[in-house]
Structure 1
């Protein structure tokens, strides 16, 4: 049954709170969100927290924070699986009554021994169907003291076929898959069962998810059919590779979405960059979330793995920083510098942002520029030896005196003082400007020196120059 069985497009993102929201899940969330918005549908956030041993509230909080930062608003949720246990039991009871599920008393030790023997014989490791009921079959006596699991009675013959939104037609024989455990001995449903019940109840019409779920899909389709539930359309997205060519994941190489927020990336830049990791719209490199929604109809999704490129992300982020409102960037800096004990107003920072932002790939780099106006920088031995020579010391001291006497503290007045000192000591601009930059800013290269110095508190600047 196709998505035409649904009244409207409904997509979802369903992270497991066993760690942070990583980049692959964020990309899946973005595609799911954009697809729903493009079609005037709805987007659902579901927290798949049935892994009780590994799920944490900190992870839940981080997932919610990441979704909020990215601006991926959801219409339903967050919905927690652990709050739906009664519903799963209801569905399982119906399946047991209908004969599409059964109780299995094979213990974990017996199952391990079974699979080891199969492997020794060169056979595929799988459950052998000991407790699977069949017409005329006599089941073993129910052992005492063993709490059963519940298995799905997977069809023995035929194929599972679906037209994947990314990969095209996929066909897997039922003989390749065995009877899946759908409820553990502790009564907690397993992923492949709970996700089907959830998608059914929540009327999910389209499921975007990672490549690693392709092997789960035949079980899920068979469970959908056993329940008489409409099938969503599936789209399995290729993996994201790290710099080393290996898959990014929670356990290897991935960085949390919120870490990028902390490190000064803009959410609109992250969305723009993530969107291009497996999807394209012509040659467009930079576009807004609104434009993506207008374009993202589910086509033009790549079948090939995407390569995470930190340098490209920095370039994208730099373009968005250049376009960003100065007050917005200043407000971020106020909070960031405040964490370091620096109490600076937004109004004071806005002109600094305006001067420095074109040089920055991240807001952290912008913070480094701004911070030098409030915290005396360390001067490297190399800069000290190269630029702070005895020959230029008198000119710097004279400049400091003249700056101290200035009435109008602005770039034109500072420029006039510079010119007067250059003429008095017979120097060219770099001969005086570079030592001044090093003393004031701890670096030999900055924007126009008069513009930089005008942003200093005059007393602070003069003290730094006089410390030559």
Structure 2
């Protein structure tokens, strides 16, 4: 079998790939690729057909590709241990469930949904706040442990509906070492007799997960903290099958800035995109999202923060993953995005900016656009800002931002008129940033004011905004005619 280290990312196609799922995939990927012949497997856990969402599997695959994670084995490029969709592996699970029944470590349960509800109601009334089907209750239920053997055989022969449940021991301590949390122990009395095979013949997550991880020779299971409570059931099954369990690592939760787990509802209320698809549609840089997510629960142990995927692969280790939850800081993600945008050469950014400009009804001239991009680089957080914030490079401002108007003072029109007088004397080839800056100095010296009283209204006049790229190179790029026209318009409108 290829790979001394084999990990799997095993999402359910019940919706678009959640940002937490993407981080789990990333940690698996970094861990696998940090080992010489490590293998990253994508397995689609689609046993719950009632919750299947059309297009979800494709979204998962496209999201991984977008971030630069290459899938070594999966539905699109199968290896030796396929199929890689659990719904296509259905036949193999039943035999393993039956094996546990034969060994006396699982049993057939024939209880109807109504009988299960009655049991829960009965236990609640007798003071049990969280009733479950376990070592105590199983003996009063309708299953192959309580029914006579011939009746069990008759029910099976007649095709009566049943599930197969794991027979969890009543008093046992289940202990294992977690790669993130150290030694973890659970008391079996807190566990229910987990359903392994449903009445439709489909396995539950728990059975399919254990069987597939074994058959696919997965060496490390790296997954979210929410699966930690299921781990003891999985450990029991490995023991019953006589298999070596993979090493396990349970990753910390992603927390909301306002506290608690970052749920869909919380994310929406805090303006945080929740699915990877949203980040793609909002044109985030994939390198920024990868770098940000890597640090959401892990750090290399020094002050560095900026790393390419290859560097992260070299640095990543499970012993540096934190146990406590990691807070999703949207401002930090924006900071990463700004960094990666600035790092990109103009020739790489231009085709993307051109598409956005065309979507906004602007037909950009290539040479002109390639002068705007470097000028705007330090002012943009996302690639579309080149067009949305930089729209004034293509058309006169339709109005003036309220915030910007606060920069317009009683002497603004007078100072701008004086500036127009000075720059009107310049020839087109003299209309350069350095000379334009000198003219600003001349006007403010003549009127005995600082830079602000002229620079601020000048920016408002040419862009309609109170912020933007370096002012005099902006004027040079706009040209003499446009600059003077916009200043005169602002004087006229704002007085």
TM-score range relative to shorter protein: 0.7 to 0.9
The one-character-per-residue Cα deviations of 1:148-181 (angstroms, maximum 9, x if unpaired) are 2222333445332210011111122333223211
Moved more, 19-28 or 122-131: 122-131
Between the aligned partners of 1:435 and 1:282, the Cα distance in structure 2 is 47
Asked if the contact 2:420/2:484 (under 8 Å) is kept, the reply is no
Identify the match of residue 330 of structure 2 among 294, 310, 320.
310
CA shift for structure 1 position 407: 4.6
What SS does the corresponding residue of 1:169 show, helix, strand or coil? strand
CA contact (8 A) 1:400 1:465 kept: no
Q: Deviations over 1:427-465 (max 9, x none)?
A: 876554433321221123434322112333666555434
> Does the 8 Å CA contact 1:10/1:205 hold for their aligned counterparts?
yes
Matched, 1:73 2:73: no
Is the 2:110–2:143 contact (alpha carbons within 8 Å) kept by the matching residues of 1? no
Whether the aligned pair in 2 keeps the contact of 1:355 and 1:447 (CA below 8 Å) is: yes
Task: Supply the distance in 1 between the matched residues of 2:102 and 2:394 (Cα, whole angstroms).
Answer: 73
1:74-153 to 2 correspondences below 5 Å: 74-78=71-75, 79-123=84-128, 124-127=130-133, 128-129=137-138, 130-134=141-145, 142=155, 146-153=160-167
> Aligned pair 1:60/2:57, yes or no?
yes
Q: CA, structure 1 residues 251+438, in 2 after alignment: closer, same or farther (shift >3 Å)?
A: closer
Identify the range of structure 1 (410-419 vs 355-364) with the bigger mean alpha-carbon deviation.
410-419
Partner residue in 2 for 1:438: 460
**Residue 252 of structure 1: CA displacement?**
4.0
Does the 8 Å contact 1:326/1:353 carry over to 2?
A: yes
Once residues 390 and 466 of structure 1 are traced to their aligned partners in structure 2, the CA distance between those partners, rounded to angstroms, is 9
Tell me what 2:189 maps to: 175
Match of 2:309 in 1: 289
CA distance in 1, matches of 2:87, 2:22: 23
2:293 alignment partner in structure 1: 274
- CA deviations on 1:100-151 (whole Å, 9 max, x unpaired) are 4433211111111112212222335122323444499656773978522222
Q: Is the 8 A contact 2:379 2:468 kept in 1?
A: no
CA contact (8 A) 1:182 1:193 kept: yes
For 2:67 and 2:352, how far apart are their aligned partners in 1? 16
Deviations 1:59-91 (CA, angstroms, capped at 9, x unpaired): 323322321222122211143222222333443
In 2, the alpha carbon distance for the partners of 1:134 and 1:53 equals: 30
Per the alignment, do residues 375 and 122 of structure 1 end up closer, same or farther by CA in structure 2, a change over 3 Å counting? Answer: farther
Say if 1:54 and 1:451 are closer, same or farther in 2 by CA, change over 3 A. Answer: same
Q: 1:17 to 1:431 in 2, by over 3 A?
A: same
Listed as ranges, the matches of 1:351-430 within 5 Å are 351-377=371-397, 378-381=399-402, 383-384=404-405, 386-387=407-408, 389-392=412-415, 394-395=417-418, 398=421, 401=424, 406-407=428-429, 410-412=432-434, 430=452
Deviation at 1:19, TM superposition (A): 2.2
Match of 1:319 in 2: 339
2:279 alignment partner, one of 250, 256, 260: 260
- Segments of 5+ residues of structure 1 without an aligned counterpart are none
- Is residue 321–residue 358 contact of structure 1 (8 Å, CA) maintained in 2? no
TM-score (norm 1): 0.86
Paired residue secondary structure (1:77): coil
Q: 1:204 aligns to what?
A: 218
Match of 1:454 in 2: 476
Return closer, same or farther for 1:433/1:94 CA change in 2, 3 Å cut-off: same
Name stretches of at least 5 consecutive residues in structure 2 with no aligned partner: 76-83, 491-495
Secondary structure of residue in 2 paired with 1:302: coil
Pairing 1:223-238 to 2, within 5 Å after superposition = 223-238=237-252
Query: What is the aligned residue count?
Result: 463
Query: Once structures 1 and 2 are overlaid, which stretch shifts more, 75-84 or 257-266?
Result: 257-266
Cα distance in 2, alignment partners of residues 56 and 287 from structure 1: 35
- What secondary structure sits across from 2:43 in the alignment? strand
How far residue 9 of structure 1 moved from its aligned partner, in angstroms, is 0.6
CA contact (8 A) 1:446 1:452 kept: no
Residue 240 of structure 1 pairs with residue 261 of structure 2: no
Kindly indicate whether structure 1 or structure 2 has the higher relative contact order, using CA contacts under 8 Å at least 6 residues apart: 1
Under a length normalisation based on structure 2, what TM-score does the superposition of the two structures give?
0.82
Alignment RMSD (CA, Å): 3.3
Q: Distance in 1 between matches of 2:336 and 2:56?
A: 28
Deviations 1:290-334 (A, max 9, x none): 222112232122111111222222233333333333333333322
